[in-house]
Amino acid sequence: MAALFLLVGRLTNIQTMLRNRHTNHTEVPEVVVLRLPIYVRVLNQLIDQGTDVISSHQLGELLQMTPAQIRKDLSYFGRFGKQGRGYNIEFLMEELRQILGIDQAWKACLVGVGRLGRAIINYPGFSPEGFEIVAAFDSDPAQSGTMLGNITVQEMSEVPDTIKERDISIGVVAVPSVEAQGVINILIEHGIKGILNYAPVAPQVPSHIIMRNIDPVLSLQSMTFYMKDLL
């Protein structure tokens, strides 16, 4: 009987994985996708604490979300828990990592090695999560050949060959706003599929390119919308 339960469990896991692989991206609201990495982070913390199982109610308390919203978010990708028993944390985390594509390594390049760019390349949090900055470029000839950690800064003319040779798919842009669109155009032209943009502008990209803009000023402005009535 135990063997039968084990077999049923494995078949359920396989079915969930197959559903995940065939999920139509257009069916999943972007706000749900943006929450998935938060789930992964909390689940990883729970594993570090030695927790094995968690209910949607407990997870909701940690994330300040309703259990219904958590169940709805996860339902876009399959069924991961059992009613009355909650979620196996390690299994759920691995499934979400697969859904997000962070169960594999991603190579990135950085363009712009000013103060912001240097802070980005020295940030230790990328590698543990599967993101590795393997090249850095700058338009300033004085920066060419300088070292940032174990990376040699290259000229912009070396972008095409480096992207191809090192199989880079993500570009991190940390240049002044007036240069951002031109830099992004170059990256896309030479095969970059995803852009993480730190420049305080809203660049235009083709529909097949995945763009994320990081702007702390916009985040502060959205905070003050709520804070202005509290003062």
pLDDT digits (tens, 9 = 90+) for 115-144: 999 999 999 999 888 999 999 999 999 999
Nearest alpha-carbon partner for 133 in 114, 115, 119? 119
**Position 192 pLDDT exceeds 90:** yes
pLDDT for position 82: 67
**Position 7 pLDDT exceeds 60:** no
As to burial, measured by CB atoms within 10 angstroms (0-12 exposed, 13-18 middle, 19+ buried), residue 141 is exposed
**Position 26 pLDDT exceeds 70:** no
pLDDT for position 102: 94
**Position 171 pLDDT exceeds 50:** yes
The position carrying tokens 């700058």 is 138
Q: Domain 2-100 carries which CATH code? A: 1.10.10.10
pLDDT for position 84: 66
One fold for 2-100 and 106-218: no
Is the distance from CB of 109 to CB of 135 less than 8 angstroms?
Answer: yes
The domain spans of the chain are 2-100, 106-218
Architecture per CATH, domain 106-218, reads as: 3-Layer(aba) Sandwich (3.40)
**Position 108 pLDDT exceeds 80:** yes
The model's pLDDT over 80-101, given as tens digits with 9 standing for 90+, comes to: 866 668 899 999 999 999 999 9
pLDDT for position 19: 44
**Position 2 pLDDT exceeds 60:** no
Phi first, then psi: give them for residue 197, nearest 5 degrees: -105, 120
